[in-house]
């Protein structure tokens, strides 16, 4: 069982919290992570690449020259794929790359990712994350106190909800990403160097995974 300290916005420990063994556990297998990550990346693809076949290229309705007697190869259209400005053979067309991943597999992968962050001491619990003013320097100051400041390449901040001040303050902090506990994905957790989560966000996350 993992036990993590809960800190305030100044980085001072105010209590300790035992994490739920059903969510944070060393025995959770990592075999579900790979297919979940592949599915996530596939779902991000837009699939907008497109080419035109000889029938879709404008022009080429008239036969360039007669079939016989010219000494040249027979041609039916100037939009033949063999010609410049002609159509494309077997070129890409818009398609949907997405596919479904079982909900249980996604939950298992997320549990593994969170457990790894907790094991490596890269999971930081904060009692609440509130800003009086929408200022980036105040937001960065809190993250520095949590030792998750600008020195980290990627910081994931998780909560059950975010107010307008926090959203505006984090907009210019390119190293930090805000995400709701109801929406976080295994890919985002593994990509982050530090995961900062509020007590309410953790409660919402446990409720989701159970």
Q: How many CB atoms lie within 10 A of CB 132?
A: 7
Give the predicted TM-score (pTM) of the model.
Answer: 0.83
Q: How far is CA 78 from the centre of its chain?
A: 46
Residue 122 sits at the vertex; the CA angle it makes with 203 and 168, to the nearest 5 degrees, is 65
| Beta carbons within 8 Å of 118's beta carbon, 6+ residues apart | 2, 4, 19, 24
pLDDT digits (tens, 9 = 90+) for 106-131: 999 999 999 999 999 899 999 989 89
Domain 3-31+102-209 bears CATH identifier 3.40.1370.10: yes
pLDDT digits (tens, 9 = 90+) for 46-101: 999 999 999 999 999 999 999 999 999 999 999 999 999 999 999 999 999 999 99
Q: What pLDDT does 1 receive? A: 63
Parse the chain into domains and list their residue ranges: 3-31+102-209, 46-96
φ, ψ for residue 88 (rounded to 5)? -110, 135
Give the 3-state DSSP-derived string for 155-172, with helices as H, strands as E and coil as C.
Answer: EEEEECCCCHHHHHHHCC
Q: Residue 202 has which token pair?
A: 């953790």
């Amino acid at each position: 069982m993992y036990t993590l300290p809960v800190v305030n916005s100044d980085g001072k420990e105010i209590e300790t919290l035992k994490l739920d063994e059903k969510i944070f556990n060393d025995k959770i297998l990592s075999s579900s992570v790979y297919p979940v990550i592949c599915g996530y990346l596939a779902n991000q693809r837009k699939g907008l690449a497109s080419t035109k076949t000889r029938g879709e290229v404008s022009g080429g309705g008239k036969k360039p020259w007669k079939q016989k007697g010219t000494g040249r190869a027979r041609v039916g259209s100037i939009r033949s794929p063999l010609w410049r400005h002609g159509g494309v053979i077997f070129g890409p067309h818009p398609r949907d790359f997405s596919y479904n991943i079982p909900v249980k597999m996604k939950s298992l992968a997320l549990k593994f990712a969170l457990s790894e962050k907790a094991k490596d001491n890269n999971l930081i619990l904060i009692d609440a994350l509130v800003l009086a003013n929408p200022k980036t320097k105040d937001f960065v100051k809190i993250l520095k106190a949590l030792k998750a400041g600008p020195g980290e390449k990627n910081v994931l901040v998780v909560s059950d909800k975010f107010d307008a001040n926090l959203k505006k303050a984090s907009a210019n902090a390119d190293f930090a990403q805000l995400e709701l506990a109801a929406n976080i994905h295994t890919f985002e957790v593994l990509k982050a160097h530090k995961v900062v989560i509020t007590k309410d966000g953790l409660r919402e996350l446990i409720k989701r995974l159970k």
